[in-house]
Structure 1
Amino acid sequence: MASFSFQIKSGGKGAALGHSRYVARQGYHGVRNDLVLSGYGNLPAWTGGNPEVFWAAADRYERANGAVYRELVIALPNVLAGDPLRPLVEDLVHELVGSRPYQYAVHAPSSSLQGEQNLHVHVMYSDRMPDGIERPAERMFSRFNPRSPAQGGCRKASGGRSPMQVRDDLIAMRKRAADLQNTHLARHGHAVRVDHRSLRDQGVSRAPERHLGPGLIRRMSARQKGEYILARVGARFGTPL
């Protein structure tokens, strides 16, 4: 069983353009040198096909207390690196984002602990749902007008949902992301699979691994790193160390 990781985040007013540049490794972010794939879609005509124009407008016109963007961060199977990667990412974006404006980037940094590839995709998207009405930027991000849609902004997909509905939607998105990865793994002849369920729901008794973070790893000695790796392997496979 491969590791499965799925996070959903959001950013407020003024954060979208900077995060877009981070995701796309633009400007000084390019020194990371870990960008594998990138793309965008469903942008309104006034952007000229430039995601930065879209996110700059979202930062400027989206209301102050609303989420300017949402972001999915999904771990991807390393065995699908190369040619099989783009079809998987495009399927994930199509199924999880749909018709909403989006930008994605796949990063492949090396793990701070073991040096292995950490392949994952960032998908930034707006909750504003296109409805076929052409709006200027300032109107697109204004409040939706149900009586006269053309006079208001695009409806937000996240509007009016209860906490229970939000939870159920997240579970469904996690499952869909895992199912798509498993479909592509099978298509390319790989036996490994991912599971979106918690360890408890999978019947696994071990505790979830603690995320150490690059700062803590940098402060660890070579001996501490080795002991941690051995303990992690033992916990995964039930081997007493």
Structure 2
Amino acid sequence: MASFNFQIRSGGKGKALEHSRYVARRGYHRAKNDLVLSGCGNLPAWAEGDPERFWRAADAYERVNGTTFRELIIALPNILAGAPLRPLVADIIRQLVVGRPYQYAVHSPPSSLQGEQNLHMHLLYSDRMPDGFERSPEQTFARFNPIYPWQGGCRKMSSGRTPMQVRDDLIALRKLVADIQNTHLARHGHAVRVDHRSLRDQGISRAPERHLGPGRIRQMSPQEKQDYVQRRQHWRAAAAGASDHGSGAARL
């Protein structure tokens, strides 16, 4: 079974433009030299196709304690690198963004532990849903007017949800991302699959793998790295065996 990793983050006022540049590997971030794909879509006319103009306006005009962007960070299967990657990314964007302004980038840095590629995508999007009315940059991020929508800003799609709804939406989103990846893995003839469920829900009793981080890995000796890699391979093999066993039992 392939590793599944999905994170969701958000950024407040004043954070959007710089994070956009980081994701797109603009300026000094270009030195990372790991950008594979990038693009944007659904931007208002005044942005003229430039995501930096959009995020700069969000930083300037969104309310003080408002959220300027949300970000999904999604691990992608390395075996889908190359030609299969672009349609996979396009499918994820189409099903997750649903009309909202967005910017994306796919990075492929080498992992600090084994040197293998760490293929993943960043998907930034605004909750401000376009509705067909032309607005200035300032009005786009103003408070929504439900009676006269053309006089206010764009509606925020995430407003008004209860904590239970937020939790359920996150679970559904994780499943959707896993289903999209599995569809593309099957389409290209790969038997490996990803699973969005927790280890407990998969029937696996071990603790989740810890993200060590580059700093911790630099402090490890070659033998410690080798031992950790071997343990991780054992965990993943055991997880794959447990998943296969569970799937077989379900078919009986």
TM-score by length of 1: 0.97
- Measured after TM superposition, the shift of residue 236 of structure 1 is 2.8
Q: Which moved more, 1:220-229 or 1:1-10?
A: 220-229
Letter paired with 2:199: L
2: distance between equivalents of 1:199 and 1:224? 25
Aligned CA-pair RMSD: 1.0
Q: Which moved more, 1:32-41 or 1:223-232?
A: 223-232
Gapped runs of 5+ residues in structure 1? none
Letter paired with 1:214: P
1:120 alignment partner in structure 2 = 120
Identity %: 72
Deviations for 1:52-109, whole angstroms, at most 9, x for unmatched residues?
Answer: 0000000000011111000000000000000110100011011011100000000000
1:90-105, aligned counterparts within 5 Å?
90-105=90-105
1:52 alignment partner in structure 2 = 52
2:245 alignment partner in structure 1 = none
1:2 alignment partner in structure 2 = 2
Gapped runs of 5+ residues in structure 2? 240-252
Tell me whether 1:179 sits opposite 2:193 in the alignment: no
1: distance between equivalents of 2:131 and 2:48? 19
Deviations for 1:2-45, whole angstroms, at most 9, x for unmatched residues?
Answer: 00001000000000000000000001001100000001000000
2: distance between equivalents of 1:183 and 1:228? 32
> Are the equivalent residues in 2 in contact too, given 1:206–1:236 (CA < 8 A)?
no
- Measured after TM superposition, the shift of residue 130 of structure 1 is 0.7
Q: How many residues align?
A: 239
> Are the equivalent residues in 2 in contact too, given 1:16–1:69 (CA < 8 A)?
yes
2:249 alignment partner in structure 1 = none
Tell me whether 1:202 sits opposite 2:202 in the alignment: yes
1:75-154, aligned counterparts within 5 Å?
75-154=75-154
2: distance between equivalents of 1:48 and 1:220? 48
1:188 alignment partner in structure 2 = 188
2: distance between equivalents of 1:140 and 1:33? 34
2: distance between equivalents of 1:123 and 1:238? 32
- Measured after TM superposition, the shift of residue 238 of structure 1 is 4.3
1: distance between equivalents of 2:225 and 2:182? 31
